[in-house]
Each structure stands twice: as structure tokens, then as C-alpha cells.
Chain A
């Protein structure tokens, strides 16, 4: 039946709806490029959502844990093979996502009788400065895009992702510290996961602050940090929320 073009289109449409339905309850993940490095954030209930891929590469993802694991492993394999057969400096996000993962995911998505990848991905590559950082969005159907504006996020539906990404990009210009950036990402996460993104006005700072603080109760906040200045080749380090929020810093946060 899928040999007929119309049937094929219908089957693909059904498949797209199925994937969206499966992913819509996923907890959003976010990444932001800051002067000192790139911050990645995910909030979950046990399953890891933020991962190190290579020296300067990291991933944050939402979706089915088994599918995230498969894509994460494929990215790690490809990055390490490239680093070993050429050099670590040759591992690039553009090639990894554009020439490798995207094609694999698209192929799987279009094979109607195989299970599609139930996942949405944000990849980050640390550059010499924020202007050379790369943030990529990779979708369940293999489409991908380089994100501008210093931030990227994976969330459902697409309208929510677009609106909060624009808002986050503007707000990020006003954060003076890493701790303030973490709070801002948590605010964005709360706006997305609570449905508050739909209101005509973005809720005020106090409401956002109270919102994320209440919403993370009983959940695990994962923070990944790609440090721009480091003595070692490995730039990734996991951070604890308590440690980051305790960093000196927030008094000049102009948003509060």
C-alpha cells in the first residue's frame, strides 16, 4: 500500500503525528552560550538528559531514553573515531550532525516499518569565543539547523520553542553571571513545561522564579558546562545546581 504516493504521504503524516504525540510530554532541554562557556540544562526524574560527547562537544536531549542513548552513542563513536584517525581539533559539530547523525535519523524516519527515533536534540560546540560557539537543533526526522542568538532549546510544540527561544535570546543579554544564566534557563524551562508560554504576556520575574523553584521539587536538575578557559583538552564538566546558585554573583542581575 505504501508504494502508492498518496498512501506513503498519509503514512508519513501519521508517523509524524505519532512521534509528536510521544514527545509532547518530554521535559524541555536548553543551552546558552555565555562569555565563559556554554551552559546546558535539563530537568528530569532520573534519566540523564545532558551528556558529554567529546572534548568541546555536548548534547542535551528529550525523548525516549533508549533512542537518546542510541544517538548519544553514535555521536560519541563518530567523534572519537574522527579524533583518533585525524585529530581532536578535526571533530566538528557541523560535520557530526550535518553529515552523520542527520542522515541516519532521516533514513530511519522514512523507513515506515522501522521504529522512528523518539528524540529531539540540542548539540553544542565550544568555540574560542561566544561568537564562534555552535548550537545545533536536530529533530526527530533528521532536519537540523544552526541556532543563532546564543541559545537553543528543544521543546514541544514548535510554537512554544520559537517563542521562548526568542525571549531567552533577549534576556540572556542581561545576565551578568553564570548563576544568573542558570536561573534564567530554569525560568525558560518552567515557562515551557508549565504552559505559561501561551499567555499573551510572559509572566513577571517573581512569578517565573517562584514557578521554577516549585516545579523542580522532586526532580533532578542537570547542568553541563563547557568551560572556555581550561588547562586541559577536556572542557566539559557536570555542575550541581546548589553549587552554581551559591556562586557569588547575582546582586547585579538587572532582571531582578
Chain B
């Protein structure tokens, strides 16, 4: 007797059609990998802000300064990737399709714990590549928890093996994350306002300055330069949905807070 498929599971559907998900073996002659850094997320007064620079590197080569590392998975989920884009983008695509597939086929939204675990499962499936030192992805995830009233956005971070952790106020990943976590920890404890109490405009300006600072110490972080029109990818998650902060708005946020300093 055959085992019935798991209802609404897109990965199982791919398996039934023998569509491979992620590469599971690497050659010893693998080229220098493209890497993407730095991403972070923190709570502010209206929800969660998730941001990332736009640089991708391979060794000491800058591959591009136009990568989008913060992705909208659906109305209530954001993913930020640090690590190898080839694997990370595929994970994002699998998750995007999986969440929508579940919602449409089962006529209900996938719960936040299930979404968090779906990413953990992809990371575990990527374990052979991770252990070989290629294809490592260390993502951040933010999702709206609708099981509580009022619904609240929450931040999660992972280790490369797939362990998931909930962050209280902030999380960061990638080569510039050390600097950013230090500033966030300091600001959350001693700052005024604390990031979790910031307005939208202040939070956007703060996020841009975090990236500027990280770029001072980490060559793989692209940073922000308004004069050269280099901005970050910033998305805001509220209980009501996702919003992208445009380059123009980032410029205005920086300009506005400069005047108040």
C-alpha cells in the first residue's frame, strides 16, 4: 500500500515529479564561491525592519553591488540571506512557492512555526554542501505570528546546520554582522531611543548607518553611499503586510535625521 502524499507539501510534490531541489554533492574542484553579506533585522515601534547591503563577493572580487538579499516570501514573511546566493536564492524560491502552494491548496495560511521549520528543513537538506564548506547559507527569517492577538512580527535566525532560534529584538548574519550586532546590543541597552522604540523614519536611517559602519570594517559589505546612489535593501514587516523602502525614501530618511543631529 503506497503512502499518501503530505497534503499541501510542495517539496513532496517536487519529489513525486523527481524535480531535484538543491545540489547535494560538490566537486573538489569547486570554484571560489560568490558570497553575499551583510543582513540584519530588528524590531522597531511599528514592526520588524529587515535590511541588507547589495554587495556580492567571490574571494576578494566584488561580483556586483546590485544583489537583493532581503526577499518577500509572501504577505507575512521575509527572508534575508547571507552566504552563497546560488543556494540561498533557490531556498527562497522553494519557500515562496511552498508557502503559496500550501495556502492555495489547503485554503489556509501556513502557520509561523511551520514556516520557520520549512526553512530549517531546507538548511538540513543542504547539510552535505555545508559540511563540504561550499553552499553555506545562514539566513534570517521574519514572520507574522497570527496565533496571538494582536498579531506580531517575530525574528528568527539559524545556524548553517538548520537549528532555529527566535531573536528577542534583533539578529544579524554575514561577515559584517559582528559590527552590527554590537551596535544593536549597545543601542538597545543604552540608546535613546532604543531601536525597538524607533519610528519608521528613524529606524530606516538607523539601518542605513548600521550598514555604513559595517562597511568600514568589512570589505564584503557594500555599505550605503547616497552621493553615488548606493542604497540598501530594506523591507518592513507589519501584521498587515510587507512594505519595501524605496531608494528615495532612504535618501530622505538619511537627510531628515542629519538635520536633527
Chain A interfacial positions (CB closer than 8 Å to B): 48, 51-54, 73, 76-77, 80-81, 83-85, 232, 234
Contact = CB atoms under 8 A, between A and B. Distances in A.
B100 interface: yes
A81 B101 CA distance: 10
Contacts of B94: 84
Given A80-B10, A80-B13, A81-B17, A73 B105 contact: yes
21 contacts: A48-B107, A51-B104, A52-B104, A53-B104, A54-B104, A77-B13, A77-B105, A80-B10, A80-B13, A81-B17, A81-B19, A83-B97, A84-B14, A84-B19, A84-B94, A84-B97, A85-B19, A232-B72, A232-B75, A234-B74, A234-B75
Contacts of B101: 76, 80
A133 B72 CA distance: 27
B14 A76 contact: no
Interface string B1-39: 000000000100110010100000000000000000000
Contact of B100 (A51, A80, A85): A80
B104 A84 contact: no
A80 B107 contact: no
Interface of B: 10, 13-14, 17, 19, 72, 74-75, 93-94, 97, 100-101, 104-105, 107
Contacts of A232: 72, 75
Given A83-B97, A85-B19, 15 more contacts: A51-B104, A52-B104, A53-B104, A73-B105, A77-B13, A80-B97, A80-B100, A80-B101, A81-B19, A84-B19, A84-B93, A84-B97, A232-B72, A234-B74, A234-B75
Contacts of A76: 101, 104-105
Given A81-B13, A81-B19, A234 B100 contact: yes
Contacts, number: 34
Nearest to B19: A85
B32 to A, nearest CB: 29
Contacts of B107: 48
Nearest to A85: B19
Nearest to A55: B100
A53 B107 CA distance: 11
Nearest to A234: B100
Nearest to B16: A77
A73 B74 CA distance: 21
B69 to A, nearest CB: 19
Contacts of B97: 80, 83-84
A69 to B, nearest CB: 10
A209 to B, nearest CB: 32
Contacts of B13: 77, 80-81
A49 to B, nearest CB: 12
A81 B13 CA distance: 8
- Nearest 3 pairs between A and B by C-beta? A80-B101, A84-B97, A76-B105
Contacts of A77: 13, 105
B144 to A, nearest CB: 16
A73 B100 CA distance: 13
B6 to A, nearest CB: 13
A83 B72 CA distance: 17
A84 B74 CA distance: 15
Contacts of B19: 81, 84-85
Contacts of A80: 10, 13, 97, 100-101, 104
A73 B94 CA distance: 19
Contacts of B105: 73, 76-77
A53 to B, nearest CB: 7
A46 to B, nearest CB: 13
A76 B97 CA distance: 11
Nearest to B7: A73
A9 B122 CA distance: 53
Contacts of A81: 13-14, 17, 19
A255 to B, nearest CB: 34
B55 to A, nearest CB: 26
Contacts of B74: 234
A234 B104 CA distance: 11
A97 to B, nearest CB: 17
A19 B107 CA distance: 28
Nearest to B107: A48
A52 B102 CA distance: 12
A80 B100 CA distance: 9
Contacts of A54: 104
A2 B21 CA distance: 46
A77 B100 CA distance: 11
A52 to B, nearest CB: 5
